[in-house]
Structure 1
Amino acid sequence: MTLLRQWGATLGKWAGRPVARVQEDSGDPAVRSVREAAARADWSAVREVLEARSESDDRTELLWAVADTAGVERWIDAVVESESDSALPRLVAGIRHISWGWEARTGARAKDVSREQFEVFHARLRTAEQRLYEAAEREPQWTSPWYGLQVSGRGLEVGQTVARRRFEATVRRDPQHLAAHQQQLQQVCEKWGGSHEEMHAFARSSAFGAPAGTQLGQLVAIAHLEHWLSLDSGQDAAYMRRPEVTASLRSAAEHSFRHPGFARRGAWIQVLNTFAMAFSLAGDRDGAQECFRLTDGRVTEFPWYYLDGSDPAAAYRRLRSSSGR
């Protein structure tokens, strides 16, 4: 599993255009601050950063910044015990155990993961679920515990019905929670027991059911990329070049980042990177050029690792050049 992080990098210039570099974080200085506080086991500083952010999609990246920091599991349980009525340390412990669980499993194919690795993976995810439910009980209106349960549930293979309930619990509290929708889109993908038809229907209904300017338009592009990934060589390119795919991408773009109400906050650069890749593969040069111009060399790991897992920025540069940008 790749937990997406994007930290703003200083961009150089070459040949009149930005040098494409992968961003670890979104450019939010709070992400770096909370990561550094977690690394030095400074719970007071971690709590201060997290409590300053609304309990919604806005807090997701901060939580993963803490969760992906090595060693958090060594001190967070003591905080949980000392703050018996507090939801926040339980939330952090839960998200950390998800990340720690995937560290044990690794990103290898299931057939290449040992039984021992799976046992550790599942044990850590079960601990995560316990902590997340405890957080949800203490703060019933919070979205993050339910979003975390979406992620842990996929690893534990809780099934489509339970996964849907967890997604619905998240979006009842934050209807446009982008990360929650991304998780549910993965849940209904063919590779996770869903189907192409269900995946595309979910992407369309979520994107166009939201107000114009929504970042949820990204779901339409992700769905086409997931469909493309599932096909054999030759069939994949033919799929992306279908006129109805191009029309679908353009419609989603109009409802999303091309709309005046599109908010340049949170994951907006990732949204544009996703459309850049999808338009490029669809052969829509104008759409691709627009997205490459707007991203201005800022590359997010997702979705470019689909093309080059070791160097997403190289994949971005190749398609940017192909688009004529």
Structure 2
Amino acid sequence: MTVIPVLAIGALLLALHHFVIRRTADWVGKHFVAPDYDLPPRAQLDSRHAGPPPPAHRTEERQTVADAAWAGDWKPAERYVQAAGEDWDERWSRLELLQHVAGEDDAWLEAWRAAEPGNCDAATLHASIMVHQAWEIRGSGYAHEVMTSDMNRFRAMLPAAIEEARQAALLDPANPGPWVVMITAARGAQYRRAQFKPLWEGLVARAPHHYEGHWQALQYWCAKWFGSDRRMMRFARQAVRKAPPGSPLAGIYLHALDELIYRPATFAQPVTPLMRRLLKRVAASFEQVAPDDERLPALRHLLAHYMVRSMMYARALEQFRLIGPWCGAQCWRKSGNPVVAFETARGTAAKLSRTRPTPAPKIYGIGR
């Protein structure tokens, strides 16, 4: 078969698929009854959150640490980070919380650094704050959207932050935290690939499956920074393959798909057998992640979203059942109305999966 007939068939199938999706969306709006498919009713959907709130004891612990810091006592913050031990993902998550606390008032952090100049966590936190302050000046827009003066200030601030992170790394050679900071700053500092490579090697030598480190590296390898679609997807596929049991690392692949599809002027990505196989592997990996992992709900939303786009409707329906009533994830907010987007997606999964509805039996007569 020549190229032209193949392209024509592909275009015809794509048009047919779009027609089916439009028809299905109409059915969802008029006839979809979520409980018939073991899903929460639309009236219970919560667009404020992507998942359930953290357990009360975890919230109380965080608030206690924050209150103590704002009152000038940095020691609870130090103990809070140290309690994570060598669970480097958790340790980084706790540093991120302290970064938000310092955003309100950082006097406690300066006191901590003065009292313990050899503390790697305090030094790492300070370096990370320097990077985020630089990024706040730059903003989140594409390079051509940023004022030249802001871009110059942004780039001028990063070398000092990287040097601060390098010094932090010397304080605790086993701690990957400073290396995450350096990887985060590297793309803004316009590090060439030869400069970035030793930073990446330094991180994975200490924490080969560090989630935030991989997310930041994915950003470096994407086309809008210093990589390409091919390099980014290769990196994301490797993350799926090497994700250990219990880690959400395979979710990096979903972020890569997000980068491809929502980049301006990017055509719709074709659905391939490889993509479907990888989405299945991601789902299998998530089954081994602790249910209370706070990264998991947002990743499940992305997984369900891309399974629907990949016409994996039965598997998407499984994810929607695990997600429950929470629909505040960014992938649904992008449409402007997360409830409608979420309802349409899960209704589409229910309808096109050919799952037979199981309506609740009607109760006749006078209810008690």
SS for the counterpart of 1:21 is coil
Task: Report 1:198-277 matches (<5 A).
Answer: 198-212=231-245, 214-230=247-263, 232=265, 235-236=267-268, 239-254=269-284, 256-258=285-287, 261-264=288-291, 265-277=293-305
Greater Cα offset, 311-320 or 128-137: 311-320
What is the CA deviation profile of residues 56-76 of structure 1, one whole-angstrom value per residue up to 9, with x for unaligned ones?
111222212222342445553
Task: Report 1:311-322 matches (<5 A).
Answer: 315-322=341-348
Judging changes above 3 Å, is the alpha-carbon distance between structure 1 residues 104 and 231 closer, same or farther for their aligned structure 2 residues? Answer: closer
Kept in 1: contact 2:239–2:249 (CA 8 A): yes
Matched, 1:68 2:121: no
What is the CA deviation profile of residues 178-234 of structure 1, one whole-angstrom value per residue up to 9, with x for unaligned ones?
11111112211122221222222212222213335542221222222322224747x
Rg larger in 1 or in 2?
Answer: 2
Q: Unaligned stretches of 5+ in structure 2?
A: 1-39, 352-368
What is the CA deviation profile of residues 33-57 of structure 1, one whole-angstrom value per residue up to 9, with x for unaligned ones?
4445455554223222222222411
Judging changes above 3 Å, is the alpha-carbon distance between structure 1 residues 76 and 227 closer, same or farther for their aligned structure 2 residues? Answer: same
Greater Cα offset, 19-28 or 53-62: 19-28
Alpha-carbon shift at residue 318 of structure 1 (Å)? 4.7
Matched, 1:287 2:315: yes
SS for the counterpart of 2:173 is coil
Matched, 1:171 2:183: no
Instruction: Give the aligned partner of residue 48 of structure 1.
Output: 79
Matched, 1:143 2:176: yes
Would you say how many aligned residue pairs link Structure 1 and Structure 2? 305
Separation in structure 1 between the aligned mates of residue 322 and residue 135 of structure 2, nearest angstrom: 33
SS for the counterpart of 1:91 is helix
Separation in structure 2 between the aligned mates of residue 226 and residue 294 of structure 1, nearest angstrom: 25
Greater Cα offset, 50-59 or 69-78: 69-78
SS for the counterpart of 1:191 is coil
Judging changes above 3 Å, is the alpha-carbon distance between structure 1 residues 316 and 81 closer, same or farther for their aligned structure 2 residues? Answer: farther
Kept in 2: contact 1:86–1:138 (CA 8 A): yes
Q: Unaligned stretches of 5+ in structure 1?
A: 1-12
Task: Report 1:81-100 matches (<5 A).
Answer: 81-100=114-133
Greater Cα offset, 310-319 or 80-89: 310-319
Q: Which has the higher contact order (CA 8 A, sep 6+)?
A: 2
Judging changes above 3 Å, is the alpha-carbon distance between structure 1 residues 324 and 151 closer, same or farther for their aligned structure 2 residues? Answer: same
Within the candidate set 3, 7, 21, 2:48 is matched to 21
Identity rate, percent: 23
In the superposition, the TM-score normalised over structure 1's length comes to 0.80
Instruction: Give the aligned partner of residue 182 of structure 1.
Output: 215
Alpha-carbon shift at residue 290 of structure 1 (Å)? 1.7
Instruction: Give the aligned partner of residue 356 of structure 2.
Output: none
Separation in structure 1 between the aligned mates of residue 118 and residue 259 of structure 2, nearest angstrom: 42
In the superposition, the TM-score normalised over structure 2's length comes to 0.71
Kept in 1: contact 2:307–2:316 (CA 8 A): yes
Judging changes above 3 Å, is the alpha-carbon distance between structure 1 residues 26 and 50 closer, same or farther for their aligned structure 2 residues? Answer: farther
Letter in 2 for 1:247: R
SS for the counterpart of 2:141 is coil
Instruction: Give the aligned partner of residue 323 of structure 1.
Output: 349
What is the CA deviation profile of residues 5-49 of structure 1, one whole-angstrom value per residue up to 9, with x for unaligned ones?
xxxxxxxx7547542432599724244444454555542232222
Letter in 2 for 1:262: V
What is the CA deviation profile of residues 257-284 of structure 1, one whole-angstrom value per residue up to 9, with x for unaligned ones?
24xx333325222332221222122232
Kept in 2: contact 1:34–1:62 (CA 8 A): no
Kept in 1: contact 2:240–2:278 (CA 8 A): no
Greater Cα offset, 128-137 or 113-122: 113-122
Alpha-carbon shift at residue 108 of structure 1 (Å)? 2.5
Alpha-carbon shift at residue 90 of structure 1 (Å)? 1.0
Kept in 1: contact 2:45–2:339 (CA 8 A): no
Within the candidate set 106, 124, 131, 2:164 is matched to 131
Judging changes above 3 Å, is the alpha-carbon distance between structure 1 residues 300 and 240 closer, same or farther for their aligned structure 2 residues? Answer: farther
Kept in 2: contact 1:225–1:278 (CA 8 A): no
Kept in 2: contact 1:94–1:148 (CA 8 A): yes
Letter in 1 for 2:290: A
**Root-mean-square deviation (CA), in Å?**
3.1
Kept in 2: contact 1:200–1:220 (CA 8 A): yes
Greater Cα offset, 219-228 or 294-303: 294-303
